[in-house]
Structure 1
């Protein structure tokens, strides 16, 4: 049954990837975050399209990867959950360079009308080898995204600060109640 491509976005370190792992464990298709995949590839190849070396190149790669992910998932049945996506990368590039890519790209590559936003959650935030920025930068990113998605016509559903299994239940219940209303 066709359902939709659902974005889970928000604050870095807010539990998005953990939530996606739970949804995958429940049998749903998931698409991993473009940024983490790019960082892994760039580090392995000695590349420079890394957010701490060349943020614009990193974001352009993230846009390309998000477009490819969207195209690969567009015809799948059931819910497909994205750990971030095109809006994240395009809005970041626009904020960085002033290049107005967000509206044009995001208008033709739509996700499900409801999306989920992970709020800043300092109690679980942690830096690592791929997330070198601090919590303040993560909150700034969240502030940009909490405005970008509604500006593109998405209904933003804040994720509760609850254990992962309860968060997954919340997402699935929110979507099941939306079928028919959002179409």
Structure 2
């Protein structure tokens, strides 16, 4: 068992229900970490900055990398931690932007459990907002980049069913119990 066995990533394209699911897991007492990229985008909008993925992907990725690295240090040794996106998400987004991925992004990607939960594109719940301007077609493409990146990095990708957030949280806890990980 790797020493990061208690750090789980929930990934997926924009608007696939990740944040809502993390809120449910938090309500159940798990330590959960919100999506850094969304926070960075909100901050950039507030200051009129350009460090957003659709204007300055490399700078945006660097900010996310630093903050996500810090999140890892905040995960308590006891109990499970769930992250709304992980460092491999940055790799996938940078690849999708046809940019060179800095080596350091790969080096910390092994600091999570090798099981990753993927929220697939889900048209019925997908919505746009100021931090999520991507189309549903973009969300589907991003999801493919994410899945491929995680698999290339040796993660086991478990696709979440299109259930309510409560049922998805139960799916995860059932999966981890069945996998003797909870």
Is this a same-fold pair by TM over 0.5? Answer: yes
TM-score of the superposed pair, with normalisation by structure 2 = 0.89
Q: CA deviation at 1:11?
A: 2.0
Work out the CA distance in 1 between the residues paired with 2:37 and 2:64: 6
Aligned to 2:114: 113
Work out the CA distance in 2 between the residues paired with 1:97 and 1:65: 23
2:84 matched to 1:100? no
* 1:151-179 Cα shifts (integer Å, max 9, x gaps): 11111100000111111000011112223
**Are the structure 2 counterparts of residues 63 and 14 from structure 1 closer, same or farther at C-alpha, using a change threshold of 3 Å?**
same
| Contact 2:65–2:105 (Cα < 8 Å) also in 1 | no
| Contact 1:49–1:58 (Cα < 8 Å) also in 2 | yes
**Are the structure 2 counterparts of residues 45 and 76 from structure 1 closer, same or farther at C-alpha, using a change threshold of 3 Å?**
farther
Q: Which runs of 5+ in 1 are unaligned?
A: none
Work out the CA distance in 1 between the residues paired with 2:107 and 2:57: 24
- 1:3-152 aligned at under 5 Å gives the runs 4-73=6-75, 75-101=76-102, 104-109=104-109, 110-152=111-153
Q: CA deviation at 1:133?
A: 1.1
Q: CA deviation at 1:71?
A: 2.4
Q: Which runs of 5+ in 2 are unaligned?
A: none
TM-score of the superposed pair, with normalisation by structure 1 = 0.89
CA RMSD of aligned residues (A): 2.0
Q: CA deviation at 1:88?
A: 0.4
